[in-house]
Structure 1
Amino acid sequence: MSQDQPTDARAALLSHFSIPSDEHAKKWDDLWGANFLPWDKGFPNPALVDLLSERKDVLPAAVEGRKLRALVPGCGKGYDVLLLKAFGYEAYGLEVSGRALEGAREVEKGVGGEDQEVYRSRGGEGSVKWVEGNFFRDGFLEQVEGEGKFDLIYDHTFLSALPPSMRAAWSKRVVELLAPQGRIVCLEFPTYKPHSTGGPPWALPPKVYVAHLSRPGEDLPYHEEEGLQESKLGEPSKTGLKRVAHFQPKRTHNVGYSKDGKVTDWVSVWAHPDAQ
């Protein structure tokens, strides 16, 4: 949903999700069934392409004897999952909506065409597995190889789809699922929206990621109009993550640009405090 886009899609989403958060899963599936997908861009985010290509210094190091394992929660049609495969990852696309994964499998079938250069193998062919399940519950891990930890977790529009009341659970969960030497990559969006405008997508300025990922599982103070109350935060948790990189990408999806053409998205990369 671009800053220049008419507000009808935003208004429809706001109305659609004006129910308790524990009922949201079915609501997302309903949108996929109705083919109402204003967030779907049809290709991987250019910021992720550039990160994987140019910033290996902030990505997880290779693990001897196996491929690096990546997770994309709320993967939609799986464009970013297929990109991670091209970079050699054992990539898992997780969705609560089976209809979304039907779309992902259709996209996967089309990989290899002349207009699919972005998905060409770059340094070792990886693999893809589509998994239907709830990110906040362990059931989906039965379909994951190994010990159920991920070397890379990518979050772009997943956190922004969750109401602020679920951010404590999100931060706790990503920390639980991150391998000891792993990295969480967050494409921070939308950074420009006032908190009071609601969502999805919910406003996500960089300070929200810092507050929650350094205090995983903690309920943090929010004001209905002003958003996160930084002055009321306690000390970071000893189990919190450290931010190892934070920068604005050279390019991103069109929704991440201001009206004057400036990038408003940020990329942050996170690791366990004792990670190398």
Structure 2
Amino acid sequence: MSTPTPDVRTQLVSHFSTATGSTAHGQKWDELYQANFLPWDKGFPSPALVDLLSSPPPSTNPAYPNLLPSPSSATGKRKKALVPGCGKGYDVLLLAAHGYDAYGLEISANALKEAKKVEGEKGNEEVYSTRKGVERGAVTWVVGDFFEDGFLRDVLGEAEQGKFDLIYDYTFLSALPPVMRSAWSRRFNELLAPEGRLICLEFPTYKPASTGGPPWALPPKIYMAHLPRPGEELSYGEDGELLEEKIGEPSRNGLVRIAHWQPERTHEIGYDADGKVTDWISAWAHPQV
């Protein structure tokens, strides 16, 4: 979601003020989709993701030579990509256009009604066209709770073991209050395949933590604190700032940041007043055994 104007921000903060836990938050998001109050919706996929999929930068980490998994395995089996909190699904359609079997996960049934409309009305737009030699992947819309296993059994079945080769987070974490970040980090650790990649488009990096959310402030240090320590409760001050001095060593099974850079393009809200990009992209993987 984009950073709203002060009036819209006040409405959002008030709307979520009584929500606790993923179920309550999900109901609040569903109400916004039902009311068509969607100030964060831009109507097209993230330019940063468009560029990353079209021309991924070379890895500078020899232990992890590929920032993105190939859309298919050596046996021809298509890789699976997950977009939690996918909203109207623009990024899901983009991933499918690049050859992944793409799963758009939403706790809001009303959001996925809109996503299916977008697929039908905009799915043939140029931004969703496939490259030469790439076969379009399947698109699956899933109503479910990211923090629960029910959607995995319903969609993937027991044989798939609930693992995804590529997971993309943009505005999903910023929609969650800080108290849910430990569960967020644990869940990504569980859902990412052994050789998979988690891509985070880090936003908003510039706003003070004291302003609250959604969207909640997410400077890169938040990702660096939580993802290497899956499920660990980290301390925050009364002003919402992460208490970095209280952070311990990373977990042995925590995710490893293998790349970090600023995209050349992003959504308009990711630029400052001088036209400089404020978003960052981070790529994550399981540690090498």
TM over 0.5: yes
3-state DSSP of counterpart to 1:223: coil
Under a length normalisation based on structure 1, what TM-score does the superposition of the two structures give? 0.95
Amino acid at match of 1:144: V
Name the residue aligned to 2:148: 137
Name the residue aligned to 2:63: none
Structure 1 residue 64, shift from structure 2 partner: 2.8
Name the residue aligned to 1:117: 126
| Aligned 8 A contact 1:29 1:97 in 2 | yes
Whole-Å Cα distance in 2 between the matches of residues 167 and 250 of structure 1?
Answer: 28
3-state DSSP of counterpart to 2:187: helix
Equivalent residue runs for 1:172-211 within 5 Å: 172-211=186-225
Structure 1 residue 2, shift from structure 2 partner: 5.7
Given the alignment of the two structures, is residue 84 of structure 1 paired with residue 57 of structure 2, yes or no? Answer: no
Equivalent residue runs for 1:54-69 within 5 Å: 54-55=55-56, 57-61=66-70, 62-65=72-75, 66-69=77-80
Structure 1 residue 142, shift from structure 2 partner: 1.9
* Cα deviations by residue, 1:155-202 (Å, 9 ceiling, x for unpaired): 001000000000000000010000000000000000001010000000
Structure 1 residue 226, shift from structure 2 partner: 5.0
Whole-Å Cα distance in 2 between the matches of residues 33 and 53 of structure 1?
Answer: 34
Whole-Å Cα distance in 2 between the matches of residues 59 and 8 of structure 1?
Answer: 39
Question: CA 1:216 to 1:112, structure 2 compared with 1: closer, same or farther past 3 Å?
Answer: closer
Name the residue aligned to 1:93: 104
Name the residue aligned to 2:165: 151
Given the alignment of the two structures, is residue 232 of structure 1 paired with residue 246 of structure 2, yes or no? Answer: yes
| Aligned 8 A contact 1:70 1:152 in 2 | yes
Name the residue aligned to 1:249: 263
Given the alignment of the two structures, is residue 9 of structure 1 paired with residue 8 of structure 2, yes or no? Answer: yes
Under a length normalisation based on structure 2, what TM-score does the superposition of the two structures give? 0.91
Given the alignment of the two structures, is residue 127 of structure 1 paired with residue 144 of structure 2, yes or no? Answer: no
* Cα deviations by residue, 1:234-253 (Å, 9 ceiling, x for unpaired): 01110111111100000000
* Cα deviations by residue, 1:83-108 (Å, 9 ceiling, x for unpaired): 00000000000000110000000000
| Aligned 8 A contact 1:182 1:272 in 2 | yes
Q: Which ranges in structure 2 are unaligned for 5 or more consecutive residues?
A: 58-65
Name the residue aligned to 1:38: 39
Whole-Å Cα distance in 1 between the matches of residues 38 and 174 of structure 2?
Answer: 15
Whole-Å Cα distance in 1 between the matches of residues 222 and 182 of structure 2?
Answer: 11
Question: CA 1:128 to 1:6, structure 2 compared with 1: closer, same or farther past 3 Å?
Answer: same
Whole-Å Cα distance in 1 between the matches of residues 211 and 143 of structure 2?
Answer: 30
Amino acid at match of 1:64: A
Identity of aligned residues (%): 64
Structure 1 residue 112, shift from structure 2 partner: 4.8
Name the residue aligned to 1:21: 20
Structure 1 residue 147, shift from structure 2 partner: 2.1
Whole-Å Cα distance in 1 between the matches of residues 184 and 167 of structure 2?
Answer: 12
Question: CA 1:261 to 1:2, structure 2 compared with 1: closer, same or farther past 3 Å?
Answer: farther
Whole-Å Cα distance in 2 between the matches of residues 137 and 210 of structure 1?
Answer: 24
| Aligned 8 A contact 2:2 2:215 in 1 | no
Question: CA 1:226 to 1:30, structure 2 compared with 1: closer, same or farther past 3 Å?
Answer: closer
Amino acid at match of 2:145: N
Aligned residues: 272
Q: Which ranges in structure 1 are unaligned for 5 or more consecutive residues?
A: none
Question: CA 1:220 to 1:7, structure 2 compared with 1: closer, same or farther past 3 Å?
Answer: same
Whole-Å Cα distance in 1 between the matches of residues 51 and 20 of structure 2?
Answer: 34
Whole-Å Cα distance in 2 between the matches of residues 44 and 152 of structure 1?
Answer: 17
Name the residue aligned to 2:277: 263
3-state DSSP of counterpart to 1:100: helix
